[in-house]
Amino acid sequence: MKLEEIVGQLFILGFKGKSIAGNNPIVSDIKKRNLGGVILFDRLLANKENQNNIESPAQVKQLCKSLQNASSSPLLIAIDQEGGMVKRLKSETGFPETESAGELGNHDDPTRTAIHAAATAKTLNTLGINYNLAPVVDLNIFPDNPVIGKINRSFSADPECVIRHAAIWVTEHKKQNILTCLKHFPGHGSSQTDSHLGFTDISKSWQEAELIPFQKLIHQDPKKPIDSVMLGHLYHGGLDTQYPTSLSKAVVGGLLRGQLGFQGVVITDDLQMKAITDKYGLEESVCIALAAGVDMIIVGNNLEYDSGFLERTIPEVLRAVKEKRISEDHIYAAWQRISHMKAQLRIES
């Protein structure tokens, strides 16, 4: 496979529309640029539209089938389906209701969590969605956190409770052939601002205990390793004085790969969040992330819509490789990790 085709595999992109009929640009990205994955959203925030990729169960199932058929290799079809307030598949469009992580953690009933996790995973499996960007394993350290605690995305402030319920979530998804993602490394639970909206500094609020769920889940079952870990767009001066955690070699290579020993896919949160775009250009942040050791990059095309992103960015990445700003060996290693993760999936056409 050519290097430019491998680079295409390192991205998950959002797109417009309930179908990919006609000249939807995402088809060109899949067929011509070997796109690694897509992400589905219920709304298109960039255009203030209340409907985007999700209208009904039958429509989503057909969309996923069309997307998968457009790809010559297994396509990741990702979604944020945590339950509670953070879900793209909502009851008003015909999907089952599930409790939030906060509610499940408060009950602290493993059976209840297993039932909700299994229901979520079964729904995704039926639709053809194969990658749930969950569970959240952030500790609920600051309950008024606008993006975690306040909207019940954390199971608990207790690491052991978080580990207990997140492990059940991962297990139930594996049973349904759904990949999962621990987020948001190195811990978003103590933050006091929202990285969707701007710079988020956790230098003073972050606690080392926030690493415990990641560390223990990574090593809990060597026979069933964690598929992926998502990096938060967080600034911690004690970890990296220059870059936020999602663009930091010290965090990716030193902390996550080195200290915690994670061998799976490292993925960014959406690079269109203001915590990144307020300071870096999109193509620039992609190159910095890959140079830092990130394997896969999400560009949601939701906060802003940019149909030409991948066509414009692949040449920028290739130029950075040629100029030795990004290691070519890392590009191949990232592709191998992504391919290994995809190999676990049983794709039905």
Rounded CA separation 345/71 (Å): 15
**pLDDT for the residue 275:** 79
Candidate list 29, 138, 227, 269, residue with the active-site label: 269
User: Alpha helix locations (H) across the chain?
Assistant: 3-8, 25-31, 57-70, 101-107, 110-127, 159-175, 212-220, 249, 274-277, 282-292, 309-322, 328-342
Residue identified by tokens 């396509």 is 75
CB 47 within 8 A of CB 305: yes
**pLDDT for the residue 102:** 98
261, two tokens: 């020993």
**pLDDT for the residue 348:** 63
Rounded CA separation 17/14 (Å): 10
Helix (H, G, I), strand (E, B) or coil at 189: coil
Interhelix angle 159-175/110-127, rounded to 10 degrees, is: 40
pTM exceeds 0.85 for this model: yes
One-letter amino acid of 114: A
Helix (H, G, I), strand (E, B) or coil at 304: coil
Helix (H, G, I), strand (E, B) or coil at 183: strand
**pLDDT for the residue 223:** 85
Tens digits of residue pLDDT in 246-255: 999 999 999 9
Rounded CA separation 135/23 (Å): 35
**pLDDT for the residue 271:** 94
- pLDDT tens digit at each of 349 positions of the chain: 899 999 999 999 999 999 998 789 999 999 999 999 999 999 999 999 999 999 999 999 999 999 999 999 999 999 999 999 999 999 999 999 999 999 999 999 999 999 999 999 999 999 999 999 999 999 999 999 999 999 999 999 999 999 999 999 999 999 999 999 999 999 999 998 766 666 789 999 999 999 999 999 999 988 889 999 999 999 999 999 999 999 999 999 999 999 999 999 999 999 999 878 889 999 999 999 999 999 999 999 999 999 999 999 999 999 999 999 999 999 999 999 999 999 999 766 5
Give burial (CB, 10 Å; 0-12/13-18/19+) of 139: buried
Candidate list 108, 194, 196, 306, residue with the active-site label: 196
278 is catalytic: no
194 is catalytic: no
Give burial (CB, 10 Å; 0-12/13-18/19+) of 215: middle
When the candidates are 3.20.20.120, 3.40.50.150, 3.90.1150.10, 3.20.20.300, the CATH number that belongs to 3-342 is: 3.20.20.300
Within 8 A by CB and 6+ apart from 23, the residues are none
Mean pLDDT of the chain: 95
36, two tokens: 């690694």
Rounded CA separation 120/114 (Å): 10
Cα distances (Å, whole numbers) of residue 104 to 110, 115, 322:
9, 11, 49
**pLDDT for the residue 198:** 62
Rounded CA separation 114/201 (Å): 34
